[in-house]
Amino acid sequence: MRPTVHDIAATAGVSLATVDRVLNGRPGVRQTTVDKVEAAVSLLGYVRDVTAANLARKRVYPLVFIVPGGPNSFLRNLTAEITAAAQRSSIERTVIRIETVPPFDPAALVRVLESIDPQTVSGVGLVATDTDDVTAAVNRLVEQGVPVVTLVSDLPGSQRVHYCGIDNIAAGRTAASLIGRFCTGRPGKVLVVAGSMKLSDHSERASGFAAVLEAEFPELGVIGPVETNDDADTVRQRVGMALETGPEIVAIYNLGAGNRGLIDALAQHGHRNFAVVAHEVTPHSRQALADGVFDAIINQDCGHEVRSAIRVLKARADGLDPLTAQERIRIDVFLRDNLP
């Protein structure tokens, strides 16, 4: 049986109130008494349950989430999950504030990070743009004692305490394995469409994809990545242009957003049979998969990512390590046959 504060009080010969003051570092206890309590803690092997202590004290965790705005369906879903978490604040003992920044605007992200008062927040979660100024702003917050986690897109060169997202290199490798099999016996080129290579998730997916294609499917070459800022109209234009001038294209991998534009471009070239892999189940991509326009969708659970970020930030605020297995975000692969 684990030792309790009652055991400490009995061993040290002091009151429960005194044990509580010593464990919480509050003043008003003589050093000799502190020594007795600490000796009893050591003797008994007592490990303090910080979570239970904070629950008893009704501690509240103020958290800030910074997410890109705009029409991106997946990021809208992410924001909706954060909003739902904010509505559960009374249960989870959090106070959540959502800051929206323009997509692909690292300067706006830096401004929000620099406006945060370290004395008023327990943690920050953000969808990161991988630039030096964003890294520096995150590092300043962490050095001021504010844990920062990244969601969806990581900031690997920073001091962020945790990344809540899928392994994007593995996601890109998965896409390459799927397309390689879909294109068996059909050599040609694969058009790769990205939002921005300044996003670590996009650059990592592209890297993993290219590595597997080169090693396992040398009959398939890569065109791109074509960058579109995840804008559906730009995706439609750039993909349409590539298909007009690239008769050797046999497959398309959209590793970012803007699937509505991809669907429109494919409709304009309906006489050609492309293998198509995209990311994230949204209304448009779901319909495209159901209709056979897309062959597979690689998905991540943004609700799990938000819940993971909250757990990690609360744990870090308490000086605890998160449970690695609980916070692992899995890669889901959906075909028309197993579409949820």
Domain residue extents for the chain? 5-48, 58-165+302-329, 168-299
Task: Tally Cβ neighbours within 10 Å of residue 262.
Answer: 29
CATH fold for the domain made of 5-48: 434 Repressor (Amino-terminal Domain) (1.10.260)
Question: What is the CATH code for 168-299?
Answer: 3.40.50.2300
Of 44-58, 93-107, 291-305, the range with the lowest mean pLDDT is 44-58
Return d(Cα 217, Cα 184) in angstroms, integer: 9
Task: Answer yes or no: same fold for 5-48 and 58-165+302-329.
Answer: no
Of 6-10, 209-213, 218-222, 329-333, the range with the lowest mean pLDDT is 6-10
Cβ atoms of 164 and 150 within 8 Å: the answer is yes
Backbone angles phi, psi at 37, to 5 degrees: -65, -45
Which pLDDT score, from 0 to 100, does residue 19 have? 84
**pLDDT tens sequence across 96-137:** 999 999 999 999 999 999 999 999 999 999 999 999 999 999
In the chain, how long is the greatest CA-to-CA distance? Answer: 86
Amino acid at 326: Q
Sign of CA dihedral 333, 284, 167, 65: negative
| Alpha carbon distances (Å) from 3 to 49, 53, 56, 59, 323 | 11, 15, 18, 24, 23
Amino acid at 334: F
Q: Does domain 58-165+302-329 have CATH number 1.20.970.10?
A: no
User: How far out from the chain centre does Cα 212 lie?
Assistant: 24
Task: Tally Cβ neighbours within 10 Å of residue 272.
Answer: 10
Amino acid at 152: V
pLDDT at 26 over 90: no
Tokens of 77: 């879903």
**pLDDT tens sequence across 135-170:** 999 999 999 999 999 999 999 999 999 999 999 999
Return d(Cα 198, Cα 237) in angstroms, integer: 21
What pTM did the predictor assign?
0.82
